[in-house]
Amino acid sequence: MDNLWSDDDARAAVAHYGPRGIGEDLALRVYTTRLLGGEPLLVQHGGGNTSVKTELTDLTGTPVEAMCVKGSGWDMALIEPPGLPAMRLESVRPLLALDALSDEDMVNAQRASLLDSTSPNPSVEALLHAFLPHKFVDHTHAAAVLAVTDQPDGEEICAEVFGDRAALVPYIMPGFALAKKAQEVSAANPDAEGLILLKHGIFSFGETAREAYERMIGLVALAEERLKEGNKPVFVPAKLPESVAPASAVAPILRGCAAIPLAPSDGRYTRWIVAHRTSPAILDYVNGKDLMRYGQVGVVTPDHSIRTKGLPLIVPPPESGLIDAFKTAAQEAFEGFAKSYAAYFDRHNARQEMPRKRLDTAPRVVLVPGMGLFALGKSAKDAAVVADLAETTISVITDAEAIGRFETIDEADLFEIEYWSLEQAKLGKAAEKPLARHIVLVTGGAGAIGQATGRAFAAEGAEVVLADLNGDAAKEAASGFGGLGIACDVTDRDSVQEAFDDVCKGLGGVDIVVSNAGAAWQGRIGTVSDAILRESFELNFFAHQTVAQCAVRVMEAQDTGGVLLFNASKQAVNPGRDFGPYGLPKAATMLLAKQYALDYGGQGIRSNAVNADRIRSGLLTDNMIKERAKARGLSEDDYMGGNLLGREVTADDVAQAFVSLSLARKTTGATLTVDGGNIAAALR
């Protein structure tokens, strides 16, 4: 573990925050909190906290003995002074005299002690910081420390590794009781540099930010030294199939198995975004003969459980060519997981004074021998966090097994954490947007309609991938709303298949496909060349068919329905003179949408089309608008608004039509006009 302290950086932090009214103590607290937070082997995703005791002044100018402690919701790597709310020490220190304090009373006392009532909630470990006498207190869940303490004889190993430099605190779940115990252990060991919280993590402290930080690094280095002694080959490989199916085929099956039906009659499910991770270290772990033992022990530190659940699901390896057999086996494994999770809940809930509300029964981490790990989250960001924690878990357990045997807190303690109201509060209760957890692929994604459609779906909470012939333009456009962009030539089946494979590998599958790519060819139908007509059919009909075929294959693997949306022009219904080469394939595409509605309705896959007209885009350029308006003796505005409503139709209007069709759960086989009213193109 490298010591990253730099006098220059420390001075720079003080100089940066000073003019903003932030004292040296807090400025240095921010500096070393960031140092700790930036190292994933110490801290990941909200799993650690820091504090400093300092003097502040209240509104009257009276000095206040305060403690600035990490607030919940802040990431240590990016922390700023408002992420370390100040508590009045005189109002929380006396709590130490109490024998017990409920979680609710503790949170209330912490909030009531804040100097600024708008601050975030202080960390659930704030009282532990407050009860310690030291000025700077640092807390991490360092991977190396976890690997030495997560052992049947973790206490003896830690005593030997840390000696007098760190005192040992038995496992107690975070909260008032742990804060009291840590204070007691610290008081009995006044010369210790820190505390090892068995099966949880490590605290270090000091009179200066530098001392507390360097003690953390020094203590973690002791654990790392001890791990170097573990050099036995850890995992004996299990016998695996000669070749396994690709992740792009496996992810949609897992995603479908994990989906929880809400109201199957209208096709609603709690869906998941799936992140796949693999590496030599992950493969060694998931391919081990004893995976069912070491992989089913539990979490490496308690607070992971709120994101990863206590145990991962292990499914059999997917032999290539036998994907149907894998799907059946995976379904059984997910059902088994749900049953055993429900039984775990019932077992421990029965002991609670206040009955808890059971969380969903889907796993968050799925281990697949031969392939690696799959992490499930409510968004791509969330799935990545779960995947990070799962990777850390694998690394800690690998190290723990190399020096002994991985062991963690027992099931009852795990339940206390997983169903602890204060931990649940960390997950946020904001209502989800209507298309959250949905994966949307838009072809022709870099064009005006494609971009607007991507933006509109992202605004409804969806994970959006823009696919375009110009991959860079798609990436650029998608970055504007947090989506992904990929290159795809929709007239090339391999390219389309590759795009779907990428989306499945990256996000887990696909729920909504907007087949939008198109281009206009002109020509008088009696004389137009076959080449032009066929070229137009390639893009304006066959490409839609290729995209839809690839889409339904993924949707069938997921078994959770799906939505196909086609961009069919007004030309499909009301042809324009000399636009035959464009209108003919579009008319076929409108029928294609209906054919998919017919053939796939039984599987809950809906298929609809949008009939737009006169949208400023690559198809209808500013020059074309100028010419056409001139030819009709109209102003450009009058030409663009030449419809029954007299209103120009925009790419955003078309995008909204796609979104509304994707939400219309009882509509399939429909064509929706978005043209401001064009009676000759009105469908019955």
Stretch that binds Zn ion, among 194-202, 245-253, 312-320, 424-432 (CB under 5 A): 194-202
For residue 593 the two structure tokens come to: 């949408």
For residue 619 the two structure tokens come to: 């198809």
Least distance (Å) between residue 19 CB and Zn ion: 34
Backbone angles phi, psi at 299, to 5 degrees: -80, 155
Nearer to Zn ion, 10 or 197 (CB): 197
- CA separation for the pair 87, 66 (Å, rounded): 5
Q: At 242, which amino acid appears?
A: E
Stretch that binds Zn ion, among 165-173, 195-203, 396-404, 641-649 (CB under 5 A): 195-203
Nearer to Zn ion, 194 or 288 (CB): 194
DSSP letter string over 314-359?
E----BTT-HHHHHHHHHHHHHHHHHHHHHHHHHHHTT-SSPPPPP
Task: Specify whether the CB–CB gap between 536 and 582 falls below 8 A.
Answer: yes
- CA separation for the pair 577, 621 (Å, rounded): 18
Nearer to Zn ion, 49 or 379 (CB): 49
For residue 287 the two structure tokens come to: 């391919």
Stretch that binds Zn ion, among 111-119, 199-207, 596-604, 610-618 (CB under 5 A): 199-207
Nearer to Zn ion, 123 or 589 (CB): 123
Least distance (Å) between residue 392 CB and Zn ion: 14
Task: Specify whether the CB–CB gap between 561 and 665 falls below 8 A.
Answer: no
Nearer to Zn ion, 201 or 509 (CB): 201
Nearer to Zn ion, 223 or 649 (CB): 223
Q: Which residue is nearest to Zn ion (CB)?
A: 201
- CA separation for the pair 552, 557 (Å, rounded): 8
Nearer to Zn ion, 178 or 543 (CB): 178
Give CA angle at 400 (399, 401), nearest 5°.
90
Stretch that binds Zn ion, among 144-152, 200-208, 433-441, 506-514 (CB under 5 A): 200-208
Pairing of the two strands 273-277 and 201-206: unpaired
- CA separation for the pair 35, 373 (Å, rounded): 29
Least distance (Å) between residue 333 CB and Zn ion: 32
Nearer to Zn ion, 201 or 318 (CB): 201
Nearer to Zn ion, 201 or 317 (CB): 201
Least distance (Å) between residue 49 CB and Zn ion: 7
Stretch that binds Zn ion, among 201-209, 377-385, 562-570, 622-630 (CB under 5 A): 201-209
Residues 146-185: x/- map of binding to Zn ion (CB under 5 A)? ----------------------------------------
- Cβ atoms < 10 Å from Cβ of 459: 15
Least distance (Å) between residue 493 CB and Zn ion: 52
Nearer to Zn ion, 201 or 445 (CB): 201
Least distance (Å) between residue 48 CB and Zn ion: 6
Least distance (Å) between residue 206 CB and Zn ion: 19
Least distance (Å) between residue 209 CB and Zn ion: 20
Rule CB under 5 A: which of 586-645 touch Zn ion?
A: none
Rule CB under 5 A: which of 21-40 touch Zn ion?
A: none
Give residues with Cβ within 8 angstroms of 447, minimum separation 6: 468, 516, 517, 617, 618
Least distance (Å) between residue 124 CB and Zn ion: 9
Size of the site for Zn ion (CB under 5 A): 1
CA–centroid distance for 327 within its chain: 24
Least distance (Å) between residue 53 CB and Zn ion: 19
Q: What is the DSSP letter of 163?
A: G
Report the first-to-last Cα separation within the chain, whole angstroms: 71
**Residue 137: beta bridge partners?**
51, 205
Nearer to Zn ion, 85 or 583 (CB): 85
**Residue 562: beta bridge partners?**
605
Question: Listing from the earlier edge strand, what are the strands of the sheet with 365-368?
Answer: 273-277, 372-377, 365-368, 313-314
Residue 201 found at the interface with Zn ion (CB under 5 A): yes
Stretch that binds Zn ion, among 35-43, 129-137, 198-206, 600-608 (CB under 5 A): 198-206
Least distance (Å) between residue 282 CB and Zn ion: 25
Q: What is the DSSP letter of 165?
A: G
Rounded-to-10 torsion of CA 577, 580, 582, 588: 130
Binding-site ranges for Zn ion (CB under 5 A): 201
